[in-house]
Amino acid sequence: MKKTMTIVAAMLAVFMFFGCTSAPKREAGAEYTLTILHTNDHHGTTLSKSGVAGLAERATYVKSVRNQGKNVLVLDAGDINTGTALSNMFQAEPDIRAYNMIGYDAVTFGNHEFDGTLAKLQKQMEISEFPWISANVKQGKKYLGDAPYLIKDYEGFRVGIIGLTTLRTLVIASPDPSLTFVDEIETAQAMVTELRNKKKCDIIIVLGHLGDVLETETHNTSIKLAEKVQGIDLIIDGHSHSKFNEPKVVNGTPIVSANEWGKFVGTGVMTIKDGKVTGFNWKPIEIKSDVFAPDAEVLAMLKPYEDKANASLKEVVVQTTDEFIFGDKLSRKIETALGNLVSDSMVGYVRDIMKLPVDFGFTNGGNIRTNLPKGDVTRENILTVLPFENYVYILTLKGSDVVKFFEFVGSINQGAGAFPQVSKEVRYTITYNPDGTNGKISNITINGQPIDPNKTYKILANNYVAEGGDGYVVLKESIDTFNTSLLMSDVVIDYIQAQGGTIAPQIDGRITVIGGVATN
């Protein structure tokens, strides 16, 4: 079987680079159609959540579209990796096998494909029955993956699909040092010219993990790509997790994106006459279990993985030397060992494991829901403490906005869910009225220094507060926001395990509370 797949892969590689020897035959003036289905930012959403998304449900939808017409192209704009515990546990193997069964035509690399080792990614590529394409990621003189682009011939037209991966990957992930990332816009222009002139492609599609939301001034978004590169008929975008209700048309090029986690499948119908696009109708189709019943074959393939994952909930993942108390929702009132653990784990994971700079981290106290027992701690215990499917965000704030952040912290009434638990880099005092209202904050330091309004600070937070939840609207002023797509619960487990697997509850005076309500 492996030998057969190798031969098929070799033939596919030749086809992707060179295409057919002669252009597809077409009738002058005849109209042809191409249906394009696409996803992005899957992030290990293997199973349906509350009746939304799910790979088996996605398979049913794709199959239903294929049954309606022969010219169907299925693409994914990257970030298959890093998400739910089920997918993470098996390094996205069940997800990739489902993609095989769905029949994806091509996938490009997202930045989260580089969260792990190159060996992990290479193993994923080995089990993939679809090509991974990226024209701007190389290992030595060779392209990473199967090819820089895919060429497909249909009756009446030829399509070239270019893969692109954001250079933000160099900052927000840890790609192997053997890999080289080339400018996305320069690459796209060269590839468009090659596909148009040498490969005689009628239609050019960019399958790009670029994002439409500007993260830094140097970030080459899909918007910039459309502005600067002529000759692209469609950009299928990922990275920003944006939900489009209709295409964004920039410089005559439509850009589409299908949100995240397979909650939607972007569905477009392109009409082509005499080798030119004459129309493009697109809409996002929501994938819901009550509309698209799970495909039985995909569901059966996923079942053993699901069973193993469920069994792992009872697995002892870490040890504690004593109980991490929760009491009467103490994480909303004072410094707690549990809040310290969560915040310190976020910082430790991103700084020590991801090797990215961080100034401090915090979580809203309402995000913590119960205690951790003394002794054996199971995965289920951790998920009970942190039951929300929150992801770790890296935010970059100006020092002046960090001042506003702490001013807001001072305004939070004691006992409110917004009360922050902070990492060890932070120290501050908060003084309340006897009833826990009208707090005043003072003595703030970060890494032993007062806040410098002229500096920028890297802050870790969960996605809920990063998006302005619990009143933290100042965080929306971030000048560089990155969703690590790492679940907070996984980060806590992984960081404790990296420290040896045993943790002791500790309070070190990072938050001094004066006045306020009784805490016992």
CA distance 157 to 441: 66
Any alpha helices (H) in 19-147, and if so which ranges? 55-66, 85-89, 93-102, 118-127
Residue 417 or 344, more confident: 344
The answer to whether the pTM exceeds 0.85 is no
Q: Return the pLDDT at 1.
A: 35
Give residue 2's pLDDT band: very low, low, confident or very high (50, 70, 90): very low
AA identity, residue 408: F
pLDDT digits (tens, 9 = 90+) for 83-112: 887 888 899 999 999 999 999 999 999 998
- Are 79 and 108 in contact by the 8 Å Cβ rule? The answer is no
- Are 200 and 158 in contact by the 8 Å Cβ rule? The answer is yes
24, two tokens: 């597809």
Q: Return the pLDDT at 271.
A: 98
- DSSP at 366: G
Say whether pLDDT at 164 is over 60: yes
Say whether pLDDT at 14 is over 50: no
Residues 6 or more apart in contact with residue 501 via CB below 8 angstroms: 318, 319
Q: Return the pLDDT at 438.
A: 84
Q: Return the pLDDT at 520.
A: 56
pLDDT digits (tens, 9 = 90+) for 411-445: 888 988 899 999 999 999 999 999 888 889 999 99
Say whether pLDDT at 482 is over 50: yes
- What's 316-514's CATH class? alpha beta
Q: Structural domain boundaries of the chain?
A: 2-22+40-308, 316-514
Q: Return the pLDDT at 86.
A: 85
- DSSP at 209: E
* Burial (0-12, 13-18, 19+ Cβ within 10 Å), 207: buried
CB atoms within 10 A of CB 126: 12
pLDDT digits (tens, 9 = 90+) for 356-412: 999 999 999 989 988 999 999 999 899 889 978 899 999 999 999 999 999 999 988
Say whether pLDDT at 17 is over 60: no
Question: Domain 2-22+40-308 carries which CATH code?
Answer: 3.60.21.10
Give residue 483's pLDDT band: very low, low, confident or very high (50, 70, 90): very high
Q: DSSP letters of 225-284?
A: HHHH--S-SEEEEESS--B-SS-EEETTEEEE-B-STTSEEEEEEEEEETTEEEEEEEEE
